[in-house]
């Protein structure tokens, strides 16, 4: 196993975090193989066990080193990078991983469509072969961070003569293409972190196809499983929403009642169960890609976030549901946990929709984790072009 302690010491000695620009430090960290230690050498890693990443992160944080921009580039870091490692060519990994890690290139995810959100395999956006590339036309929706993105991962239909799951292909899209139009969507919170994205004659070179033609569903499943781990993840006790509620409980004794105490204890225990289940899932990641169990994690997270934010508002009813920021386009430094109870309550409503609805998560858990009989699907085995829409 590589000597990670020595690698960290050498990085810090050569690039003092207090005097090195954040992007330069992160680039040097990537080159040193300390971005994702379990990735291969030359791709930001050293081929070390995945579990060693936490130790490296702790040493770098203690030295005051800058962190990757996990707020603005959550899609790139949490979903595009592991997908590129699993299915990308060596050239694609060499081209995209370093600027992704330094956040010099922000990524978004062009998956959901107006007619294919809960059923992602029903996407109708077309990619048609043209010379040494593809031409893409269609519309995507609920695209987080598209207004900041320079790259996107895309699922598009390349064959309508086969059943829906078999006719998809996965691409990387340059968001600066003149055929890409991004329109913000205002949410109930008053801000716009999501967007509609219109794709008109967008050209994608075949060298930016990830995986084989027609195997886009297989690639997308890897992205989605990583997304659900990222959404449901939380490694520290009382992290996230439950931490804010317990802080209010401890600091404001006037909010305490016997009924609220019982409710808080139930929520706290459920969060702990989810946290330990998440830790087991992360350990499974050390030996492979996340499996369908990540759907149970995402489902539990959504339910708990909505219950806890509702409980927080009950403890502080004077906070109300008023907006504290009417910024149309979501700020790059937006922080869910840094906002008031009203904002958090409203924003949590989206947790059971984004990243796959809770209904879809229940289907995945029932069929792929518990092995229960699948629900009836009238479009199963039918060519996509013949499915009534």
* R_g of the chain, CA atoms, integer Å: 22
Which pLDDT does position 63 carry in this prediction? 96
Which pLDDT does position 286 carry in this prediction? 63
Q: Tell me the residue range of the domain where 59 lies.
A: 1-67
Strand, helix or coil at 6? helix
Question: Residue 146 to residues 82, 114, 190, 328: CA-CA distances in angstroms?
Answer: 20, 16, 18, 14
Could you give the count of Cα atoms lying within 13 Å of 159 in the half-sphere of its Cβ? Answer: 18
Dist. CA 17–CA 25, nearest whole Å: 7
Which pLDDT does position 37 carry in this prediction? 94
Is residue 109 a part of any domain in this protein?
Answer: no
Query: Which of 28, 47, 67 represents a domain boundary (last residue)?
Result: 67
Which pLDDT does position 24 carry in this prediction? 96
- Which domain CATH number covers 356? 1.20.140.10
Question: Residue 80 to residues 154, 171, 226, 229, 388: CA-CA distances in angstroms?
Answer: 10, 11, 9, 13, 32
Is residue 45 a part of any domain in this protein?
Answer: yes
Catalytic residue among 52, 105, 193, 227: 227
- Per-residue DSSP letters for 306-371? HHHHHHHHHH-GGGTT--S---SBPPTT--GGGS-HHHHHHHHGGGGTTTS-HHHHHHHIIIIIS-
Is residue 111 a part of any domain in this protein?
Answer: no
Which pLDDT does position 190 carry in this prediction? 80
Q: Could you give the number of structural domains in the chain?
A: 2
* pLDDT (tens place) for every residue of the chain, 389 residues total: 789 999 999 999 999 999 999 999 999 999 999 999 999 999 999 999 888 888 999 999 999 999 999 888 989 998 999 999 999 999 999 999 999 999 999 999 999 999 876 788 899 999 999 999 999 999 999 998 899 999 999 999 999 999 999 999 999 999 999 999 999 988 888 888 889 999 999 999 999 999 999 999 999 988 887 777 666 555 678 888 899 999 999 999 999 999 999 999 999 999 999 888 888 877 776 666 667 888 888 899 899 999 999 999 999 888 888 766 666 666 555 667 778 888 899 989 988 988 788 998 899 899 988 999 988 888 888 899 988 77
Q: Which two tokens stand for residue 166?
A: 């078999």
Which pLDDT does position 229 carry in this prediction? 66
Please write down the HEC assignment for all residues of 14-76: HCCCCCCCHHHHHHHHHHCCCCCCCCCECCCECCCCHHHHHHHHHHHHHCCCCCCCCCCCHHH
Nearest CA to 43 out of 86, 104, 106, 103 is that of 86
Which pLDDT does position 345 carry in this prediction? 92
Query: Which of 28, 48, 67 represents a domain boundary (last residue)?
Result: 67
Query: Which of 67, 86, 113 represents a domain boundary (last residue)?
Result: 67
Is residue 50 a part of any domain in this protein?
Answer: yes
Is residue 378 a part of any domain in this protein?
Answer: no
**DSSP code of residue 373:** P
Is residue 330 a part of any domain in this protein?
Answer: yes
Could you give the count of Cα atoms lying within 13 Å of 174 in the half-sphere of its Cβ? Answer: 15
Contacts of residue 228, defined as CB under 8 A and 6 or more positions apart, other chains included, come to 290, 294, 295, 297, 298, 355, 356, 361
User: Residues 33, 2: contact at Cβ < 8 Å?
Assistant: yes
Is residue 262 a part of any domain in this protein?
Answer: yes
Based on DSSP, count helices (H) and strands (E) in the chain, helices before strands: 12, 8
Which pLDDT does position 209 carry in this prediction? 98
Which pLDDT does position 105 carry in this prediction? 96
Q: Which residue has the tokens 């967008």?
A: 202
Name the β-bridge partners of 163.
Answer: 383
Q: Which helix (H) or strand (E) holds 215?
A: none
Is residue 101 a part of any domain in this protein?
Answer: no
Which pLDDT does position 386 carry in this prediction? 87
Q: Which helix (H) or strand (E) holds 212?
A: none
pTM for this prediction: 0.85
Known catalytic membership, residue 227? yes
Dist. CA 136–CA 26, nearest whole Å: 34
């Amino acid at each position: 196993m590589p000597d990670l302690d020595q690698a960290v010491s050498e990085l810090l000695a050569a690039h003092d975090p207090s005097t090195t620009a954040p992007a330069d430090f992160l680039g040097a960290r990537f080159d040193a193989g300390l971005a994702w230690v379990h990735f291969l050498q030359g791709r930001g890693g050293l081929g070390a066990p995945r579990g060693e990443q936490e130790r490296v992160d702790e040493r770098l944080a203690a030295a005051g080193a800058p962190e990757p921009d996990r707020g603005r580039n959550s899609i790139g870091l949490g979903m595009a990078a592991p997908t590129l490692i699993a299915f990308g060519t060596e050239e694609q990994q060499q081209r995209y991983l370093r600027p992704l890690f330094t956040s010099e290139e922000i990524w978004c995810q062009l998956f959901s469509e107006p007619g294919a959100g809960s059923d992602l395999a029903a996407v109708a956006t077309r990619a048609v072969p043209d010379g040494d590339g593809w031409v893409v036309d269609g519309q995507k929706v609920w695209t987080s961070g598209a207004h900041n993105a320079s790259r996107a991962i895309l699922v598009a239909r390349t064959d309508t003569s086969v059943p829906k799951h078999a006719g998809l292909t996965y691409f990387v899209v340059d968001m600066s293409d003149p055929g890409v139009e991004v329109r913000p969507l205002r949410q109930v919170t008053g801000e716009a972190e999501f967007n509609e994205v219109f794709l008109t004659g967008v050209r994608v070179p075949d060298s930016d196809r990830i995986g084989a033609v027609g195997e886009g569903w297989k690639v997308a499943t890897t992205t989605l499983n990583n997304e659900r781990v990222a959404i449901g993840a939380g490694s520290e006790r009382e992290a996230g929403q439950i931490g804010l509620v317990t802080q209010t409980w401890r600091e404001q004794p006037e909010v305490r009642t016997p009924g609220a105490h019982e409710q808080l204890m139930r929520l706290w225990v459920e969060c702990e169960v989810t946290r330990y289940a998440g830790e087991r899932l992360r350990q499974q990641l050390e030996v492979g890609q996340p499996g369908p169990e990540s759907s149970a994690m995402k489902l539990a997270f959504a339910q708990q976030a909505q219950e806890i934010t509702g409980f927080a508002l009950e403890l502080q009813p004077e906070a109300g549901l008023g907006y504290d920021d009417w910024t149309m386009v979501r700020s790059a430094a937006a922080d869910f946990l840094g906002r008031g109870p009203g904002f958090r309550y409203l924003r949590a409503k989206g947790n059971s929709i984004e990243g796959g609805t809770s209904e879809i998560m229940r289907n995945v858990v029932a069929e792929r984790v518990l092995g229960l009989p699948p629900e009836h699907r009238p479009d199963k085995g039918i060519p996509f072009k013949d499915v009534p829409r």
